[in-house]
Structures are given as C-alpha cells and as structure tokens.
Structure 1
Amino acid sequence: MNWEMLRKSFPNQWVLIEAIEAHSNNGRRIVDRISIINTYDEGKQALEDYKVIHKKEPNRELYVAHTSKTELEIIERQWLGVRV
C-alpha cells in the first residue's frame, strides 16, 4: 500500500505504520510501500503504541502520521555525539 491508498482507506485518522520499502533523498525519507499497524482517533494513543513496539523491536521503521496530510513528509535526523 502507498500513502495515497492509505489516506483513502482511513480518512482523517491517526495511523501507526511501518515502512516496508523506503529510501532516502536529500535528507528526507521516502516511503514507497507501507503496512498499517493500527488506526487511532487520538494521536497520543498512536505514540504510546509506537513506543511499546519500538522498545521491543528498534530496527523496525515505524511512523505515526495523520491521514489528513496529503504527503507523508519524513525528515531524517542526524545524531551527533556518543550514545550511552
């Protein structure tokens, strides 16, 4: 599924999604294929579920977004410093 299809299937909802196929371009993450994990009325619950899944499986590429957005805009972050 892509973002446009997801938006049409789940209008005006918060979604927790996983990037199945994605690539980087000019500091942005472009998600080509998406798998939906769950839908929510409130973004807070989506973020809580994100934290639980991310803690158990940190290598999964998960995102929380609202389907009112016409584009899925994901800006990549660069971490500086030492992880402890």
Structure 2
Amino acid sequence: MNWETLRNHFPDQWVLFEAMEAHSDNGRRLVDRISLINKFNEGKDALHEYKLLHKTEPSRELYVAHTSKIELEIIERKWLGVRI
C-alpha cells in the first residue's frame, strides 16, 4: 500500500511501518510502498515498539508517523564516524 491508502484506513493514528520500496531524492527518502506493522493511539508506544524492532533487526527500514500528515517528510541524515 502507499501512504495515502494507509492514511485512509487508519485516520488520526500513530503508525509503525516498514518501507518495502523507497528511493532517495535531494536528501529526502520517498517511500513508494509501505507495509504496516502496527497502529497506536500514542506516539510514545509507537516509538517504543520501533526501538525494540530496530534493535533486533537494524537492517529493516522502519518509520513512525502520524496519519494526520498529508505527505511523509523523511529527511536523510548522513552518519559520521563508525557505527557499532
């Protein structure tokens, strides 16, 4: 599904999702296809589950967002140094 479909199915919810297809453009991450992992009433609960999943599976492209946003705005950050 895409972001618009997710928003329509889960209005005014916090969602944890995985980017199944995405690409970069001018320092932004554009997500073309989404897989919903879970929905939440509270952002803190979504972030908590994100942290647990990211810790066990860091290679997955996971995001938390609120469906009130018309468009996803994901800014790419460049990491400096060594990741451990």
Normalising by the smaller structure, the TM-score range is: over 0.9
Q: CA deviation at 1:80?
A: 1.3
* Residue in structure 1 matched with residue 83 of structure 2 by the alignment: 83
* Residue in structure 1 matched with residue 49 of structure 2 by the alignment: 49
* Residue in structure 1 matched with residue 68 of structure 2 by the alignment: 68
TM-score (ref. length: structure 1): 0.97
Query: Which stretches of structure 1, 4 residues or more, deviate above 6 A after TM superposition?
Result: none
Which ranges of structure 2 fall in alignment gaps of 5 or more residues? none
Q: CA deviation at 1:5?
A: 0.3
TM-score (ref. length: structure 2): 0.97
Q: How much is the aligned-residue C-alpha RMSD, in angstroms?
A: 0.7
* Residue in structure 1 matched with residue 10 of structure 2 by the alignment: 10
* Residue in structure 1 matched with residue 33 of structure 2 by the alignment: 33
> Which amino acid letter does the alignment assign opposite residue 5 of structure 2?
M
Which ranges of structure 1 fall in alignment gaps of 5 or more residues? none
May I ask how many residue pairs the two structures share in their alignment?
A: 84
